[in-house]
Amino acid sequence: MRLARMARDADVLYATTLSTFPHSLFAGRVAGRPRVTHVYSSYVEPGPYRKHLLARARHVIAPSADSLSLAERAIGGWGPGTRTHVAYNGMDVAWLERQASAPIPAGFEPNGRPRIGMVGNLDARKDPGLLVEAAAKIREAVPDVEVLLVGSFRDPAYEASVRERIAAHRLEGAVRVTGFLPNPFPVVRTLDVLAHAAHRDPFPLALLEGMALARPIVATAVGGIPEMLVDGESGFLVPPADPAALAAKIVPLLKDPAARARLARAGHERLVTQFSLDGFARTMFGAFDIAVADGPG
């Protein structure tokens, strides 16, 4: 009810996550205001979508067509009056380049070794363990390769499993974990290849950041990633849970600087033309305008 009272002065209520949509839904009904919900998470099961009453939404935004389709299947189809929008995340390239120009954290300066890295929360969904498995195969062709896991582990049990795999493959000197970095971008800029081994991911910011910094990318073809990258042109896509496929795309890039440069340029060009911050803002405010024009419903 407090939210409903506050909403009386608003044109539209925007739920930034699926879990906040029920609050927005009921407060908006009391206040007589339209509601927009952003479905960012790509849940494996339909339960969360139903639990959070998504079937009652009239205006839905998702970060990729894949996320939108996944949500639609989960609730059994949109209602006849539902409006949906895909708002691809955008990137402020100039800001990111300024961040990346900061000093590189001590211990992670370039050292002459070929360097692969992944960036993000080091959890089972992002699966840094898969990159460790791929690194064992990559090292057979590129013996001095170095792998940086840029981020931190949240789950001690999962961290233990990844470190066990590092030890099992005798990669202690090749794989390093940076831990949380307030500004990871100077390190990202040092990567020869940015890898992303996720099992599911709606539209990962880490890849947009890599594209903005002109890093060649090899990623799993899951979630919205195939909408981000054109396979073989602006990045390489591989099947999920396949370390051999991941390694097979990374090794030639490590051996061919010209190929890395071509892939990086194409990725950067795709970012600035397809995933700009202005484009994201236009889509978002366009969705708000439509919701206001449609009324509270």
Task: Sort strands 59-62 and 35-38 into parallel, antiparallel or unpaired.
Answer: parallel
92 secondary structure, DSSP code: -
pLDDT for the residue numbered 209: 98
Structure tokens at 195: 């890898």
Whether the pLDDT of residue 41 is over 90: the answer is no
Tell whether 256 and 285 lie within a shared domain. Answer: no
> Do 119 and 204 have their domain in common?
yes
- Is the whole model's pTM more than 0.85, yes or no? yes
CA-to-CA distance for 116 and 243, rounded, in angstroms? 14
Per the structure, the count of domains in the chain is 2
Taking only the tens place, the pLDDT of each residue in 94-148 is: 999 999 999 999 999 999 999 999 999 999 999 999 999 999 999 999 999 999 9
222 has a pLDDT exceeding 90: yes
Instruction: Report whether 67 contacts 252 (CB < 8 A).
Output: no
DSSP 3-70: HHHHHTT-S-EEESSGGGHHHHHHHHHHHT--EEEE-----SSSHHHHHTTGGG-SEEEESSHHHHHH
Question: Same domain, yes or no, for 107 and 34?
Answer: no
For residues 272-276, average pLDDT: 96
Mean pLDDT (the chain, rounded)? 96
Q: What is the pLDDT of residue 186?
A: 98
Question: Does residue 62 share a domain with residue 186?
Answer: no
What is the predicted pLDDT for the residue at 68?
96
CA atoms of 114 and 122, how far apart (whole Å): 22
User: Do both 51 and 187 map to the same domain?
Assistant: no
| pLDDT per position as a tens digit, 230-249 | 999 999 999 999 999 999 99
Same domain, 262 and 143: yes
Q: Identify whether the C-beta of residue 191 lies closer than 8 Å to the C-beta of residue 116.
A: yes
Residue 197, domain CATH = 3.40.50.2000
**Co-location of 162 and 80 in the same domain:** no
What's the CA gap between 100 and 213, in Å, rounded?
8
Residue 112 is predicted with a pLDDT of 95
Same domain, 116 and 167: yes
Q: Which domain holds residue 204?
A: 93-274
Residue 102 and residue 80 in one domain: no
Residues 101 and 127 in one domain: yes
Q: Which helix (H) or strand (E) holds 290?
A: helix 277-294
| 147 and 214 part of one domain | yes
End-to-end CA distance of the chain: 19
Question: For residue 109, what is the DSSP state?
Answer: S
**Each residue of 140-177: pLDDT tens digit?**
999 999 999 999 999 999 999 999 999 999 999 999 99
Residue 244's Cβ-side half-sphere holds a number of Cα atoms within 13 Å equal to 0
pLDDT tens-digit series, residues 245-258: 999 999 999 999 99
Residues 121 and 174 in one domain: yes
Task: Report residue 42's pLDDT band, with 50, 70 and 90 as the boundaries.
Answer: confident
